[in-house]
Amino acid sequence: MLTPEEEPEQALDESWMTTYGDMVTLLMCFFVMLAGISDVDVVLFEQVQAGLAKGIGDLDVLKPIEMMTKDLESDIQNLEVGESVALGVDTQGIVMEFASASFYEPGSAVIREEAAPILKRIAGTLRASRYSNFIFKVEGHTDDAPIHTEQYPSNWELSAARASAVVRLLIERDIEKTRLQAIGMADIMPKVPNRDAYGEPIPENQEINRRVTVHIEPRRR
């Protein structure tokens, strides 16, 4: 009889891995279905998808939202425009904000000459072939101070013109117009209150509310 030391080592039972792999694959399919039928948090979905792929077999999955965020952060850092351009994410993708004071003269929708290189550098990143599945929704926002000029009868026209100016520049930089939207929001979506409890304007808040926002989202198939 063989002693315990002489008994051959038994092969490890790895049959459980088949069931585990099937379960993880089904979970990934479930999340893909959710993305197709509901308004999901696409940023979170990208992270979950990458995590599941890593769990299946240490697979690498492209994370375009994360990649673009890093590229845009690099642009902003290299251009040293952190006070004029802000970057963040929401449930649908990336959000980039341009402070109106740095990009336009008061009451104007003409992009300042010194601001054009900033937008052109960012456009170079946005038009990269690896980001061809993204769309760009450009929103113009104003404060609540009324404007009434021949060119801009109200803040609606001014905000729409500012958004359109950014869209035109992106088109000039070879981004397809079918991927772009220009939206005038006037003063209906302030980030902070324009006025205090007594109805007096808060100039620093009004400056924050004057902005152009670019929502960068994956195209829905």
The alpha helices in the chain, defined as continuous H runs, are 16-37, 42-57, 64-79, 100-103, 116-126, 155-172, 203-209
pLDDT of residue 95: 97
CB 144 within 8 A of CB 187: yes
The pairing of beta strand 180-184 with beta strand 134-141: parallel
Q: pLDDT tens digit string along 104-152? A: 999 999 999 999 999 999 999 999 999 999 999 999 999 999 999 999 9
Is residue 42 within 8 Å of residue 217, measured between CB atoms?
Answer: yes
Which one is predicted more confidently, 8 or 170? 170
CATH class of 64-218: alpha beta
For residue 82, give the DSSP letter: T
Min mean pLDDT across 15-19, 34-38, 160-164, 211-215 is at 34-38
Q: Identify the CA nearest to 111 among candidates 165, 75, 182.
A: 165
This prediction has a pTM of 0.74
pLDDT recorded at residue 33? 63
81 neighbors 118 (Cβ within 8 angstroms): yes
